[in-house]
Amino acid sequence: MKLALVINDLSGGGAEKAVVLLSGYAAAQGVETRIYTLQSSKDSYELDPRIERVTLASSGTSRGVGRILSLPLQAADLARELRKWKPDVCVSVLPRSNIAHVMTRWFGNRQPVLITEQVSSRDAYPSESLKDRLMRSLIARFYPQADQVFPSSEGVKEGLTRFGVDRDQMQVVYNPVSLSEIDQAASAAPPDANTGSIPTIITVGRLAYQKDHHTLLRAFALARSRLDARLVLVGQGPLRDELTALARELGISDRVIFAGWQQNPFAWMANADLFVLSSRFEGFGNVIIEAMACGLPVVSTDCPSGPGEILAGGDAGILVPVGDAQALADAMCAVLGDSKLRAQLADKSRRRAPEFDISVIGRQYLGHCEAWSSKSAH
């Protein structure tokens, strides 16, 4: 079987990492695999040497507002590439790539069009700006025309029904992680800033609106009256200065470490005591599984969508309401103040994480691809 994967680029992100893992798994199973990207980028992940990566010739148009306006041009470009290489099946990831993939039908592509959705479109494009309204319109127009849609969670699936995608057209497939890669990376020497005698709470994610670090900092400030701990924020983003100022205002600067972007966040996770996610919304929440794979107990907001599914409705971790600093503080204190509870949650993390390993998720994806390849052959 020949498998084509289409994505915007391979810069850092959960969707990009999922494509890299899936392509590597497919290649290891003897599947000839190629990745097409809409635009050039500095890649954040190393590809399996058996994978060919092709950037579309129209990538230069994928800048600013041109990223949306040039989609028909990129669709024509992608259709030409697919006709030349003749893959048995093609899977696209992320909205722009998905829309361009469906648009290839305009330019003669007759192969099955399989698309994935990583985040609720209404959460990703919530405003009344021209860009967000246009993207919502395009998703509603083109997603229902795909042969099959793979949402990354039941919550994302539910959101897509509001864009006209039929439930029977969708099959949830969770995002993969590589437990072997995480284990190896987590065994690295711990960062100096993440060692010491007091408990460490860690979060990993971009310092941006979606992750709601403001609520996390306020929760940590509330918890400090009951808990001697440090908080480590791994990640970079546009709100760093604002969050640093908030930590000062709350009087917790001496216990908060802004670690920035880290090449190996797993070494930080492996030497922490609790992982916390304070997001307003997620498509899935890969970082929760990564923390679980490092043996960390998890506290997360029950945001749409993904964390509640990963944590089995609260059985494999603690879920709190979005934006509730007091509830988040209480959960952090409960876990770090009770060694038995902490050990129980850590054990549940280790047991749950393997269900999302690439060996499991990759098999599911290839099963769907083989079924569509066989169907199109007849």
What is the sign of the dihedral through the CA atoms of 38, 43, 48 and 53? Answer: positive
Q: What is the rounded distance in angstroms from the CA atom of residue 278 to the CA atom of residue 285?
A: 11
Full domain range(s) for residue 279: 179-355
- Tell me what pLDDT residue 183 has: 96
Residue 378 pLDDT > 60: no
Same domain, 35 and 110: yes
Residue given tokens 């983003």 in the structure block: 237
Instruction: Give per-residue pLDDT as tens, 286-309.
Output: 999 999 999 999 999 999 889 999
Mean pLDDT value across residues 241-256 = 97
Q: Are residues 161 and 184 both part of a single domain?
A: no
Read off the CATH number of the domain in which 77 is found: 3.40.50.2000
Task: Please state, for a pLDDT cut of 90, what percent of the chain lies above it.
Answer: 78
At residue 375 the predicted structure's pLDDT band, cuts being 50, 70 and 90, is confident
Residue among 285, 272, 233, 325 nearest 242 (CA):
233
Query: 216 and 84 share a domain?
Result: no
| Structural domains of the chain, count | 2
CA separation for the pair 376, 89 (Å, rounded): 9
Residue 316 DSSP symbol = S
Q: Is the pTM of this model over 0.85?
A: yes
Residue 50 has what DSSP assignment? T
* Strand stretches in the chain, DSSP E: 2-7, 32-37, 52-55, 89-93, 113-117, 148-151, 200-204, 230-234, 256-260, 274-277, 298-301, 318-320
Same domain, 110 and 202: no
pLDDT tens across 182-238, in order? 999 999 987 766 556 799 999 999 999 999 999 999 999 999 989 999 999 999 999
Residue 167: predicted pLDDT: 95
**184 and 333 part of one domain:** yes
Looking at residue 63, what is its pLDDT? 66
Average pLDDT of the residues in 238-256: 97
Q: Are residues 368 and 324 in the same domain?
A: no
